Amino acid sequence: MKQVYMDNGSASPVDARVIEAMMPYFNMDVGNPSSLHSAGRKAKRELESAREAVAKLAGAASSKCITFTSCATESNNLALRGAALRYKDKGNHIITTSIEHMSVINTVKDLQRSGFEVTYIPVGRDGLVDPERIKNAITEKTILISVMYANGEIGTVQPIREIGAIASDKKILFHVDGTAAVGKVPVNVEEEHIDLLTISSNDMGGPKGAGALYIKQGVRLMPFMLGGGQEAGMRSGSENIPGIVGMGKAADIAGKEMAEEGARLIRMRDRLIDNILKTEYTYITGHRTKRLPGNASFRFSFIEGESIILQLNDMGITASTGSACSSKTLEPSHVLIATGLRHEEAHGSLLLTLGRTNTEEDVDYVIQCVPEVAARLRRLSPLYPNR
């Protein structure tokens, strides 16, 4: 049976070149970068080399602005908690959107329980945020705005430059969750007025267990993990050198290959979308063109997304429904509900996310299988009008 992996938004294969770069740091070059001996100094050089690669990919003016973490969720927590607690004397109001990742949603909810006020900006049916809504929500107590660069579930890319300009003009900290975007589309923290940027290793072909937070020079955060003072005191604990080396290599590869790879993914994405939408009662979710290169997301009326996923799995296709990070609940995707879908509509979602390993043959196979699965499930559905 043909095997097709189209769940790169949940977990991406680690690039073979990244694995090769990481291998020596598991069993040969094992020095701690805080040590003074030659092995430690070598680890320190590799740490800083990776920091430079990640800073370059994000368009940062200095590698000193990059703090390595264990994952994007930790980076989001450090950015939100660190900024809120550090600047609470200036105000207690935070602005975010209704479609953020749960590591942002749950963190600001927890801050609400600690006395912070949070405004959740709604989105349109295509998942886009209107910058004017954010501008109108600002008060004299606003200290932080947090908007994701792109939504990994519906693919919509937000008008970050416009929102960043508003935040900069009002002298309000601007945090961007760049997990789904960095390495896939051009991001420039300087030009887009971003003060804090969350970056994920695995989402750009690096290993799991590594992430980073860009912190603009002059921005101060309250660290929430204390210890030996690693990462300029922002993230204490011995650095994950193999993971960080891998993340640095992945960032370097992404920077060099992003334009060509992005164009390839867009061609396959659009062919997936155009053909799958020929299936009756099938609709795209997210913005049709302002979306991530490898993201093709749909909803199907009269059938459940879980059933689609399981039947596709039996045909050798790995896909997703809703968000992998919130799949432990039976509730429909909060992102799809925020775009105005009813619960029963949101339950019929299918998310196909392409990556470096996908081919045109993979696309052909998925285009063949998805309509077959939809037709089979609808014949079993008591809600389907054409049974």
> Is 110 in the same domain as 78?
yes
> Is 186 in the same domain as 235?
yes
Q: pLDDT digit string (tens) for 99-111?
A: 999 999 999 999 9
Calculate mean pLDDT across residues 341-353.
92
**Domain contains 118:** yes
Local confidence band at 387 (pLDDT 50, 70, 90 cut-offs): low
> Is 243 in the same domain as 364?
no
Local confidence band at 323 (pLDDT 50, 70, 90 cut-offs): very low
Q: Are strands 295-300 and 282-284 parallel, antiparallel or unpaired?
A: antiparallel
Task: Confirm if 297 and 153 have CB atoms less than 8 A apart.
Answer: yes
Tokens 């155009």 — which residue? Answer: 274
Closest CA to 222 of 96, 114, 101, 97: 114
Amino acid (one-letter) located at 11: A
Catalytic-labelled residue, pool 65, 71, 325, 369:
325
The whole-number pLDDT of residue 324 equals 46
The whole-number pLDDT of residue 319 equals 97
Q: pLDDT digit string (tens) for 27-66?
A: 988 888 878 898 889 989 999 999 999 999 999 999 999 9
User: 285 pLDDT exceeds 90?
Assistant: yes
Tokens of 255: 């920077």
**Domain contains 385:** no
**Domain contains 386:** no
User: 237 pLDDT exceeds 80?
Assistant: yes
Q: pLDDT digit string (tens) for 251-284?
A: 999 999 999 999 999 999 999 999 999 999 999 9
> Is 235 in the same domain as 314?
no
Percentage of residues of the chain with pLDDT beyond 70: 97
In the chain, what is the straight-line distance between the N-terminal and C-terminal CA atoms, in Å? 30
Q: Which of 253, 282, 303 is the last residue of a domain?
A: 253
The whole-number pLDDT of residue 32 equals 84
> Is 161 in the same domain as 24?
yes
Task: Confirm if 21 and 207 have CB atoms less than 8 A apart.
Answer: no
- 13 CB-near residues (< 8 Å, 6+ apart): 5, 205, 355, 356, 357
> Is 31 in the same domain as 132?
yes
> Is 86 in the same domain as 135?
yes
**Domain contains 387:** no
**Domain contains 84:** yes
Q: pTM of this prediction?
A: 0.96
Would residue 325 show up in a list of annotated catalytic residues for this protein? yes
> Is 242 in the same domain as 271?
no
Tell me how far apart the alpha carbons of residues 360 and 249 are, in angstroms, rounded to a whole number.
27
Calculate mean pLDDT across residues 361-375.
97
Tell me, what DSSP letter sits at residue 327? T
Q: Which of 226, 253, 280 is the last residue of a domain?
A: 253
Give alpha helix (H) positions in 277-318.
Answer: 305-314
> Is 48 in the same domain as 76?
yes
> Is 272 in the same domain as 239?
no
CATH code of the domain covering residue 317: 3.90.1150.10
Q: What is the CA radius of gyration of the chain?
A: 21
Q: pLDDT digit string (tens) for 191-236?
A: 999 999 999 999 999 999 999 999 999 999 999 889 988 888 889 9
Q: Which of 223, 253, 283 is the last residue of a domain?
A: 253
**Domain contains 225:** yes
As for how many domains the chain has, the answer is: 2
Expressed as residue numbers, the domain containing 313 is: 4-12+258-380
CATH code of the domain covering residue 49: 3.40.640.10
**Domain contains 106:** yes
Q: Are strands 196-200 and 211-215 parallel, antiparallel or unpaired?
A: antiparallel
User: 326 pLDDT exceeds 90?
Assistant: no
> Is 286 in the same domain as 328?
yes
**Bridge partners (DSSP) listed for residue 215:** 196
> Is 225 in the same domain as 97?
yes
The whole-number pLDDT of residue 35 equals 83
User: 10 pLDDT exceeds 60?
Assistant: yes
